[in-house]
């Protein structure tokens, strides 16, 4: 695929049989080969709907990926209160890091159970009206429920099954991308 044909953003439904492969293809088409790759899994284990990022981080930590450095797990979540310190740690540890930000989102009924992947940053906490600086060179946003009214309650009442399924899909996509990075001589 030529550089001019590479997409800047895509949306995929979690029930698409090939969603992990499609997410992985987007990742591998956009990940640099000359920068450390950081996966920033944003969220908290204290809210079902907001646990998407930490679940992805925990699954990936267990899978021993080689080329992507993971921040944010169920045991050590990255959330609104510690995000600035985490970013500082990343910047002090890695020269010119390429950051992939993963976070849960609320959206319209049509967006629920979809994932957006795109170039650019995402704004953590936007669904609950938090003012947090945007982060990332690339983002994966999983729409876990409907937004617009009582966002904190909606996040608390989100089905864990849906969040787990979406986290597994994103995890597989990142694992595939990590494998392709190894095959292409990154490690």
CA-nearest of 149, 140, 46 to 106 is 149
DSSP per-residue string spanning 166-185: HHHHHHHHHHHHHHHHHHTT
Specify burial of residue 18 (Cβ count, 10 A radius: 0-12, 13-18, 19+): exposed
In whole angstroms, give the CA distance from residue 27 to residue 165.
19
What pLDDT does 2 receive?
44
What pLDDT does 166 receive?
97
Number of Cβ atoms within 10 Å of the Cβ of 25 = 19
Place of tokens 């966002």: 151
* 167 phi/psi in degrees, rounded to 5: -65, -40
pLDDT (tens digit per residue) in 62-80: 988 999 999 999 999 999 8
Please list, in sequence order, all residues whose beta carbon lies within 8 angstroms of the beta carbon of residue 153, skipping any fewer than 6 positions away: none
Hey, which residues does 13 pair with through a beta bridge?
114
Q: What is the pLDDT along the chain (187 residues), one digit of tens a residue?
A: 444 456 799 999 999 999 999 999 999 999 998 999 999 999 999 889 899 999 999 999 998 899 999 999 999 999 988 998 999 999 999 999 999 999 999 999 999 999 999 999 887 765 555 667 778 999 999 999 988 777 777 787 788 999 999 999 999 999 999 998 877 655 4
Max Cα–Cα distance, the chain, nearest Å: 48
Hey, which residues does 34 pair with through a beta bridge?
none
What pLDDT does 110 receive?
96
What pLDDT does 180 receive?
86
What pLDDT does 5 receive?
53
What pLDDT does 15 receive?
95
């Amino acid at each position: 695929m030529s550089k001019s044909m590479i997409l800047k953003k895509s949306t995929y439904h979690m029930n698409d049989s090939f969603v992990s492969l499609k997410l992985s293809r987007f990742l591998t088409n956009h990940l640099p080969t000359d920068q450390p790759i950081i996966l920033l899994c944003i969220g908290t284990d204290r809210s079902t709907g907001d646990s998407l990022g930490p679940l992805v981080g925990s699954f990936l930590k267990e899978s021993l990926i080689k080329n992507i450095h993971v921040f944010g797990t169920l045991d050590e979540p990255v959330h609104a209160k510690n995000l600035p310190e985490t970013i500082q740690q990343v910047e002090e540890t890695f020269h010119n890091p390429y950051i992939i930000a993963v976070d849960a989102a609320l959206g319209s009924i049509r967006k629920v159970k979809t994932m957006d992947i795109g170039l650019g940053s995402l704004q953590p906490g936007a669904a609950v009206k938090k003012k947090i600086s945007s982060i990332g060179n690339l983002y994966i946003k999983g729409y876990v429920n409907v937004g617009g009214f009582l966002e904190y309650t909606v996040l608390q009442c989100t089905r864990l099954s849906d969040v787990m399924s979406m986290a597994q899909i994103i995890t597989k996509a990142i694992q595939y991308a990590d494998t392709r990075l190894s095959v292409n001589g990154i490690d």
